[in-house]
Amino acid sequence: MNNSPKKTPMAMQTPEARCRNFSEVALGYSPEEAVSEAQRCLNCKNHPCTEGCPVSVSIPAFISRVRERDFGGAYDVLSASTSLPAVCGRVCPQESQCEKFCVRGGKGEPVAIGRLERFVADAHAGRGSSPAPATNGHKVSVVGSGPAGLSCAGTLARMGYKVTVFEALHALGGVLVYGIPAFRLPKDIVAREIEELRALGVEFVTDAVIGRTYTVSELKEDFDAVFLGTGAGLPIFPGIKGENAKGVFSANEYLTRVNLMKAYEENSETPVFRGKQVAVVGGGNVAMDAARTARRLGGDVTVLYRRSEAELPARKEEIAHAKEEGVAFRWLTAPKEILTDAEENVTGVLCVRMELGAPDASGRCRPTEVEGSDHTVQADMVIFALGTSPNPLLKRTTEGLATGAHGEIVADGDGKTSLDKVYAGGDAVTGSATVILAMGAGKRAAEAIDRELREI
Ligand SMILES: Cc1cc2nc3c(=O)[nH]c(=O)nc-3n(C[C@H](O)[C@H](O)[C@H](O)COP(=O)(O)OP(=O)(O)OC[C@H]3O[C@@H](n4cnc5c(N)ncnc54)[C@H](O)[C@@H]3O)c2cc1C
Ligand code: SF4
């Protein structure tokens, strides 16, 4: 037993080194460190940590195998519940899920469940995949290869379904490849987990935009069921003067160009504008990723956030990393206008100071403008990270598909939509949320599809 009140530390690149490269910041546990951390787990009978996991990983079971140095056995336990353990171990907000409920957290730090998950998944790399199960004769199509689609595909494939994933882009993985930067989630990790699914028999068709290349009705003719995991990729802009100026980006476009089009490489064929003074507007994980990316591309970066640090929604770890890397923050600051020169290039952001009033519908204090507080933040580049909504293409091209006020697909707890044998889950249903919630939705929909098709 390891009685340390603190998590076993994980090696990291120093801030000075990492703010000039796109290699992964965290370096992972050695086998000795993983075993030592696993010895902190109390193997609680009622496993509250599992209750906090949206895909119900048997956490004490996988950790006991790590303690026994049975890393392969630990991987088997993990992969029974999650199709993307190396991804989840890196980007899940464990502090508000499994680790939040860990009994060890009562008198010190919780067991480092995320770090152990990452270790087990990485230790498994190159060990070969489980063989594809015998097929049960049913075919299911999955639209979108983000975490929701991959989780649905993996769950169904393990049950013997023949699954085909249709992806609009040329690369697979959704936000995991085009949104989350490589310094948090290396792209070969995502590719490795997708290879595991291929080994299970999942087929992938890229450059296939459903609603254009094929319609949902056409998929329904060829498959027994359809799962829509199309995400929420449409960026929201604030609607202020100057937001179309040269040098203004949505975080989605900026991160896609850097991550997917490799604009960070010298001599990239698709270079991105490299701002010297960059203002990032927003306070979530997306804002932190955009800020840290712009920093790595040589900019002096300031995050403008309209509430205070206490309300910042990004993960604490990402905020700490951003600060260590030299990203500056201006709290209680909101943009009013993007200032430009005669050629429409960004020269600054006209901002106002905000003060916090009573809590709003989200439970956070409502920011209101302080009169007469106009001031200018110098910038040659502005990145808006104010959230996203689902792309309206499926709604426009799929008759009878019910959608909500913000374009989100309406689905019940099992992912069932208004259309027969059409299911949906992930950001396309909830609006932008998290990887593990999208995976949980994909898994639940897969189980519901299985129940429905077995009844036929
Ligand atoms: C920059 C950034 C950082 C984030 N960081 C974190 C984090 O640290 N931790 C965390 O838990 N969450 C994070 N999130 C949120 C998380 O990534 C999303 O909640 C999650 O990816 C949603 O999964 P999804 O499968 O629903 O959608 P997506 O990942 O968006 O995948 C949807 C896929 O569907 C494809 N598609 C869309 N329309 C069509 C169509 N018509 N036909 C075919 N394919 C289509 C898209 O190209 C895409 O590949 C982050 C998000 C962003 C943008
Ligand atoms: S709650 Fe914490 S200590 Fe208990 S089984 Fe889960 S990880 Fe181990």
Asked whether the predicted pLDDT for residue 333 surpasses 90, the reply is: yes
In ligand 1, which atom is closest to the CA atom of 437?
19
Indicate where the chain has its CATH 3.50.50.60 domain(s): 139-233+389-454, 237-386
Asked whether the predicted pLDDT for residue 127 surpasses 80, the reply is: no
DSSP 409: B
Mean pLDDT along residues 235-240: 95
For residues 252 and 290, give the distance between their C-alpha atoms in angstroms, rounded to a whole number.
9
Q: Please name the residue whose Cα sits nearest to atom 6 of ligand 2.
A: 49
pLDDT grade, residue 125 (50/70/90)?
Answer: confident
Mean pLDDT along residues 336-348: 97
DSSP 296: H
Residue keyed to tokens 């049960």: 136
pLDDT in tens, 134-156: 899 999 999 999 999 999 999 99
Q: Please name the residue whose Cα sits nearest to atom 8 of ligand 2.
A: 41
The CA R_g of the chain, rounded to the nearest whole Å, is 23
pLDDT in tens, 172-203: 999 999 999 999 999 999 999 899 899 999 99
**Residue 306 · residue 373 · CB < 8 Å:** no
Asked whether the predicted pLDDT for residue 265 surpasses 90, the reply is: no
In Å, how far are 273, 300, 301, 310 from 282, measured between CA atoms?
A: 20, 17, 13, 14
Give the pair of three-digit tokens for residue 236. 């929201």
- Distance from the first to the final alpha carbon of the chain: 51
Chain mean pLDDT for the chain: 94
Ligand 1 centroid, distance to 374 Cα (angstroms)? 36
Instruction: Tell whether ligand 1 has an atom less than 6 A from the beta carbon of residue 440.
Output: no
Mean pLDDT along residues 218-228: 97
Q: Please name the residue whose Cα sits nearest to atom 1 of ligand 2.
A: 102
In the chain, % of residues over pLDDT 90: 87
pLDDT in tens, 19-39: 989 999 999 999 999 999 999
pLDDT value for 105: 96
pLDDT in tens, 277-287: 999 999 999 99
Instruction: Tell whether ligand 2 has an atom less than 6 A from the beta carbon of residue 2.
Output: no
Ligand 2 centroid, distance to 102 Cα (angstroms)? 5
Give the strand pairing for 11-12 and 225-228: unpaired
Mean pLDDT along residues 59-76: 97
Q: For the domain bounded by 11-124, which CATH number is listed?
A: 1.10.1060.10
| The model scores a pTM over 0.75 | yes
Mean pLDDT along residues 231-258: 96
Residue 334 sits at φ, ψ, to 5 deg, of -130, 145
Ligand 2 centroid, distance to 193 Cα (angstroms)? 26
DSSP 416: B
Mean pLDDT along residues 235-248: 96
pLDDT grade, residue 129 (50/70/90)?
Answer: low
For ligand 2, mutation pick of 46, 59, 97 (most atoms within 8 Å of CB):
59
pLDDT in tens, 390-437: 999 999 999 999 999 999 999 999 999 999 999 999 999 999 999 999
pLDDT value for 360: 81
Question: Sign (positive/negative) of CA torsion 133, 139, 140, 145?
Answer: positive
pLDDT value for 268: 84
pLDDT grade, residue 270 (50/70/90)?
Answer: confident
Asked whether the predicted pLDDT for residue 115 surpasses 80, the reply is: yes
At 295 the three-state DSSP class reads helix
Cβ count within 10 A of residue 135: 13
- Of residues 317 and 245, the one with the higher pLDDT is 245
Mean pLDDT along residues 373-397: 96
Is 139-233+389-454 assigned to CATH 3.50.50.60? yes
pLDDT value for 336: 97
pLDDT value for 341: 97
Question: Sign (positive/negative) of CA torsion 324, 312, 369, 387?
Answer: positive
Indicate where the chain has its CATH 1.10.1060.10 domain(s): 11-124
pLDDT value for 335: 97
pLDDT in tens, 104-114: 999 999 999 99
Q: For the domain bounded by 237-386, which CATH number is listed?
A: 3.50.50.60
Asked whether the predicted pLDDT for residue 228 surpasses 90, the reply is: yes
Residue 275's contacts (CB-CB under 8 Å, 6 or more residues apart) are 247, 294, 297, 299, 379, 380, 381
Asked whether the predicted pLDDT for residue 362 surpasses 90, the reply is: no
pLDDT value for 106: 93
In ligand 2, which atom is closest to the CA atom of 103?
1
Asked whether the predicted pLDDT for residue 131 surpasses 80, the reply is: no
Instruction: Tell whether ligand 2 has an atom less than 6 A from the beta carbon of residue 153.
Output: no
**Residue 444 · residue 425 · CB < 8 Å:** yes
In the chain, % of residues over pLDDT 70: 99
